[in-house]
């Protein structure tokens, strides 16, 4: 394994991970609404889900997706439908919670919204076009890292996971800084609506590629 190939891969992994995409934008939105601590499972799901997708691509799943494009299309539509439903639920609950809280004599309602679970975030990677392109590109372009598949698996997944944790936390922290301005009911409601609309926009993006 040459130093040049390794450096090129680390550079690619960092640029691919830090740039905006569905994962990072959703993490930023989650950080602004739920904070860093509650978003940790979401971060973990992104990292482990991406690692699993990358491993599958290195082992040849990318070739299968190329030969059966209907499979990729099915996964993307399923992911889009789920995100659209979740986004619609966030928007609906934002308005419902506001109306309940403004009702005379009403108690403050229990929080019904939540960040993504780790499994949900992990499964989303298979419907995320940026993740699919990134992992397929890695598997195809960095085979020279090592002639041994096991070595490529270990090196690529380890590097991408380490970088992914750091960049995911940065995007979540960027969102959480917005919470300073979200200490009133109307602003918090607006942030939740924006998060729901972001989920819906991501769903539309998935099916219009």
Residue 205 near residue 128, CB atoms below 8 Å:
no
pLDDT tens, residue by residue, 76-86: 777 778 778 77
pLDDT tens digits, residue range 119-176?
Answer: 989 988 888 878 887 888 888 778 778 888 888 889 999 999 999 999 999 999 988 8
Of 198 and 23, more confident: 23
Given a cut of 70, is residue 101 above it in pLDDT?
no
**Cβ 185 vs Cβ 101: under 8 Å:** yes
| pLDDT at site 187 | 62
Q: In this structure, are residues 71 and 62 in contact, taking their beta carbons and an 8 Å threshold?
A: no
Higher pLDDT, 143 or 54: 54
pTM of the model: 0.74
The C-alpha atoms of residue 115 and residue 138 are separated, in whole angstroms, by 29
Overall average pLDDT of the 3-27 stretch: 87
pLDDT of residue 105: 45
Check pLDDT > 80 for residue 87: no
Average pLDDT over all residues of the chain: 79
């Amino acid at each position: 394994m040459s130093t040049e190939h390794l450096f090129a891969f680390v550079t690619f992994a960092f640029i691919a991970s830090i740039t905006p995409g569905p994962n990072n934008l959703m993490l930023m939105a989650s950080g602004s609404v739920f904070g860093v601590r509650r978003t940790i499972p979401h971060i973990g799901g992104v990292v482990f889900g991406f690692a699993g997708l990358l491993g599958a691509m290195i082992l040849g799943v990318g070739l299968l997706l190329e030969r059966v494009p209907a499979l990729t299309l099915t996964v993307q539509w399923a992911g889009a439908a789920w995100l659209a439903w979740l986004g619609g639920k966030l928007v609906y609950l934002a308005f419902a919670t506001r109306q309940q809280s403004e009702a005379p004599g009403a108690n403050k309602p229990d929080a019904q919204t939540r960040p993504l679970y780790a499994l949900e975030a992990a499964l989303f990677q298979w419907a995320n076009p940026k993740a699919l392109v990134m992992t397929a590109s890695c598997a195809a372009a960095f085979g020279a890292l090592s002639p041994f598949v096991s070595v490529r698996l270990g090196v690529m997944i380890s590097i991408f996971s380490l970088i992914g944790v750091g960049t995911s936390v940065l995007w979540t922290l960027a969102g959480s800084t917005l919470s300073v301005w979200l200490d009133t009911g109307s602003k918090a409601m607006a942030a939740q609506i924006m998060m729901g609309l972001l989920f819906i926009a991501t769903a539309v993006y998935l099916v219009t590629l």
